[in-house]
Structure 1
């Protein structure tokens, strides 16, 4: 297997980048989008979050990409896009991504996807390869089917655990919600204003009855598509744009073996299909983007994809 190990050091955090929040019209409503403007000609990254997340998951990566335009929507049914109507599928999200690019006048972008966002990215790049100059998949995009008859809720509870339990809970205030995640084993080392803002964006309602902004129906609809649709599984194997997969050492609940075990990556056939494989040690499924060290590694790959795309023009 053609694999590289990614190592990361520590450095002083960057100053917070200037950003803007806007809305983009899509079928069913208005999609909330966080955008970090870049320098003219420095390239654009369209960043897609995971199944029970929101666009602010990419904040620390964006901070590392100073000068590059980074656009991170809240997918329909999540965050500030909670009320966008319509069933969710990877294809529907891919349509929404095109609407985002068109809104900002972006002809081509590097597409980055974390977790379920990796599956969205693969479907989007396969469908519209002329709009994407490169693909960076972060612990997502490589899938394995869940048999019919197996309850999707049971699978989700087993795999993402607290991210499903939060859908059934209310919280008296923001501090209680932050405390809920502070007890999550994968969040033990995740803290700071970026993480707080990411968690706050996943809240709706008023105290003392705050709840997750993720719509349970949207989570289930996307999970059905992500875990049972053969076209979604095939997308990563049918890419025509340059792609790389970064896979974290540890899992969604900080298990010692990550979402993708080494033997699974080795057996995937992706290396033979031209997808570059990069093992990222000392991070878990969440800290690979939400943690400072993980974000530095991810941003390095994204910047390389942007620079490589520019060199081909």
Structure 2
């Protein structure tokens, strides 16, 4: 299927977001990446669902939007995304968010329900159990492994790829889509990722006031069997999923991805295919 792709700069408070717009057969879907990621996180969804029209922003403090100044938070991201929809002339859209992007999607859907038609949440968006010992004061220490990449200069994207796949053992180091995603992080050997934005957003995910029980639109949840690597505790237990369904009438039966961890829910062809089905299953 033929698709057109263009990148636009959308003015927001503190600068301009880099937004890739992919035009295909469907109505537009706004796709929101995770806390340390970028818009190429959706490479696999583009491959598995070529019929989908996608709006793909780099969130402030990341990749093409690294230079956007000012504080970062779930609410600020939601406000930025309203600016994106306004700039592109989109009234209401389906929104797909992965990990922290799911929390941004929920923030958008509850603060501006007039702009969101349906939600697909990928291993995020609904409250996660706070890891033992994690507090607002210890977020920096907890995220030190993820932020190690910021303090280093990488010889090339291959070196960065080797580092990244050691931390994400279920991803395929020979996958060209992964190489492209990681290459989008880099400028002159540096990862374009704001430490301040990551820590502020992470604290908001775990300790902010979520309004998830106010979601009024059809919602799909795709979640992993494991956390990071095989046989690790998932972000969402079966008991938690049952509690969410009891409390949120708009939440459809969750889709548990067997053999996938957090990253593999979207950074693999098999995970992205399920996310594509979930998007197509939202009411038109």
Common fold, TM-score beyond 0.5? yes
Instruction: Decide whether the 8 Å contact of 1:76 with 1:83 is kept in 2.
Output: yes
Instruction: Decide whether the 8 Å contact of 1:190 with 1:287 is kept in 2.
Output: no
Distance 1:26 1:37, change over 3 A: same
Give the aligned partner of residue 153 of structure 1: 140
Give the aligned partner of residue 73 of structure 1: 57
**Aligned-partner SS, 1:183:** helix
For structure 1, which segment, 60-69 or 191-200, has the greater mean C-alpha deviation from structure 2 after superposition? 60-69
**Aligned-partner SS, 2:245:** coil
- 1:95-106 matches, within 5 Å, as 95-106=79-90
Q: Could you say which structure has the greater relative contact order, defined with CA pairs below 8 angstroms and 6 or more residues apart? A: 1
State the 1:259 CA deviation: 1.8
Give the aligned partner of residue 183 of structure 2: 200
State the 1:148 CA deviation: 4.9
- 1:106-125 matches, within 5 Å, as 106-125=90-109
Note if 1:176 corresponds to 2:162. no
Alignment partners' CA distance in 2, 1:196 and 1:16: 23
Q: Which runs of 5+ in 2 are unaligned?
A: none
State the 1:102 CA deviation: 1.1
- 1:291-302 matches, within 5 Å, as 291-302=268-279
What CA deviation, in whole Å up to 9, does each residue of 1:81-136 have, x standing for no partner? 00011100101000111111111111111000000001000010001111111000
Alignment partners' CA distance in 2, 1:176 and 1:149: 32
Provide TM-score, normalisation by structure 1: 0.83
Note if 1:92 corresponds to 2:67. no
Note if 1:240 corresponds to 2:216. yes
Number of paired residues? 279
Alignment partners' CA distance in 2, 1:164 and 1:270: 34
Note if 1:137 corresponds to 2:121. yes
Give the aligned partner of residue 236 of structure 2: 260
Give the aligned partner of residue 219 of structure 1: 198
For structure 1, which segment, 270-279 or 288-297, has the greater mean C-alpha deviation from structure 2 after superposition? 270-279
Give the aligned partner of residue 12 of structure 1: none
Give the aligned partner of residue 17 of structure 2: 31
User: Could you tell me which of 15, 20, 28 is aligned with 2:6?
Assistant: 20
Alignment partners' CA distance in 2, 1:182 and 1:75: 23
State the 1:72 CA deviation: 0.9
Note if 1:52 corresponds to 2:36. yes
State the 1:265 CA deviation: 2.4
Give the aligned partner of residue 147 of structure 2: 164
Distance 1:149 1:58, change over 3 A: closer
What CA deviation, in whole Å up to 9, does each residue of 1:208-227 have, x standing for no partner? xx221111011111112222
Give the aligned partner of residue 229 of structure 1: 208
Instruction: Decide whether the 8 Å contact of 1:65 with 1:303 is kept in 2.
Output: no
For structure 1, which segment, 249-258 or 102-111, has the greater mean C-alpha deviation from structure 2 after superposition? 249-258
**Aligned-partner SS, 1:189:** coil
State the 1:64 CA deviation: 2.5
Alignment partners' CA distance in 1, 2:257 and 2:245: 17
What CA deviation, in whole Å up to 9, does each residue of 1:16-54 have, x standing for no partner? 954222211111111011221123xx3110000000000
Q: Which runs of 5+ in 1 are unaligned?
A: 1-14
